[in-house]
Amino acid sequence: MIIHGFAIAHAVLAAAITSQQSDPGIYLTILTISMIVLLALMNDYPLDVTTALTLISCFAGFFLGTVGAKWVLFLLPVTDMSAQIITTTLVTELLGWITYFIVRRTKGKE
C-alpha cells in the first residue's frame, strides 16, 4: 500500500505542478526520499545504509524519470504532462519495490 500510495502521490503531484508549467523534480525527489526512508524504517533497516539507499534511489529516479519521459514521448502519442505522469508512476513503483525487496530480505538477520 505504501508503494502504490506514493506512486499515486507522485502522479498527482507531477500532474498538478506540470499543469502550472513548473518543474516537479524537487517535489518528486522529496516524495521519493520519504518513501525510501519509510520503507526502511518499517523494516528496522540501519540508518547509514538507509541514507545510501536513499541517495542512490534519488539519482536513479532522476535518471530513469528523465530518460523514461523522453522514451514515453517518443513511443506514445502523449503530452508532456502525460509522459511525466506515466514515467513518475512507473519509476516510483520500480524504486519502491526494489527498496522493499532489499530491506525486507535483511529484516531479522541480526
What DSSP line would sit under 22-38, residue for residue?
---HHHHHHHHHHHHHH
Q: What is the pLDDT of residue 10?
A: 93
pLDDT at 109: 53
Give the domain range for residue 74.
2-106
Total domains in the chain come to: 1
Give the pLDDT of residue 108.
Answer: 55
Contacts of 38 (CB under 8 A, 6+ apart): 2
> Would you give per-residue pLDDT tens digits along the chain (110 residues)?
889 999 999 999 999 998 998 888 889 989 999 988 898 888 888 878 888 888 888 889 888 988 998 999 999 999 988 998 999 999 999 999 998 888 886 555 54
Which residues are CB-contacts of 16 (< 8 A; sequence separation ≥ 6)?
24
State pTM to two decimals.
Answer: 0.77
Lookup: cell for 19: 499543469
